[in-house]
Amino acid sequence: MTSLILASGGGDSTENMPLGGSLGPLFPANYDVVWSLVCFIVIMLLMWKFVLPRYGKVFQERRDRIEGGMAKAEELQAKAQQTLDEYNQQLAQAHDDATQIREEAREQGRQIVAEMKDKAMAESDRIIASGQQSLDAQRQKAYTDLKNDIGVQATNLAELILREELDDDAKRADTIDAFLASLGDNDTAGVARR
């Protein structure tokens, strides 16, 4: 450093030195350092006394607000989870109810089908019985009509064969009864053959 001072053109080192005995052009004078240090301490005290408490207060308010927001968010999340659980429970209950309703409907359908089959079978049996009665009545009527017609035809045939008239009602009735009795025996034998 002295070589710099010497190179600057002066041989006397005290002439180039600043006032107050400074260490060089890059270092400030002692009084500048002292006054700068006093200003720095005053500013620090003012900041310590006024700015830092306000900053701490604002910082605490923000922290409380953030923590409150987080607590509120956790509370809302818990409520949302509870609501979701309730919804899932209601959905499961609705599914169970729907399954039960479907099963009840199937059972009712089976009962209705069974009742309809029973009614249809009863109606069918009634129709068959009615038809059987009607058929028996028609058969009996046809048998009676045929018996009477055969009796009359037999009498006419007997008159032709015997060449005499069977005017007597008693003779005619006896002849018809005898013929029908023999015819009844033949019908019974025919039914037995079937």
Cβ atoms within 10 Å of 163's Cβ, excluding its own? 7
Does pLDDT of 5 surpass 70?
A: no
Confidence label for 190 from pLDDT (cuts 50, 70 and 90): low
Does pLDDT of 64 surpass 50?
A: yes
Higher local confidence (pLDDT), 39 or 184: 39
Secondary structure, 3-state, 140-183:
HHHHHHHHHHHHHHHHHHHHHHHCCCCCCHHHHHHHHHHHHHHH
Confidence label for 184 from pLDDT (cuts 50, 70 and 90): low
Tens digits of per-residue pLDDT, 102-118?
Answer: 999 999 999 999 999 99
Strongest mean pLDDT among 36-40, 123-127, 179-183:
36-40
Q: In the predicted model, what is the mean pLDDT of residues 57-83?
A: 91
Does pLDDT of 194 surpass 60?
A: no
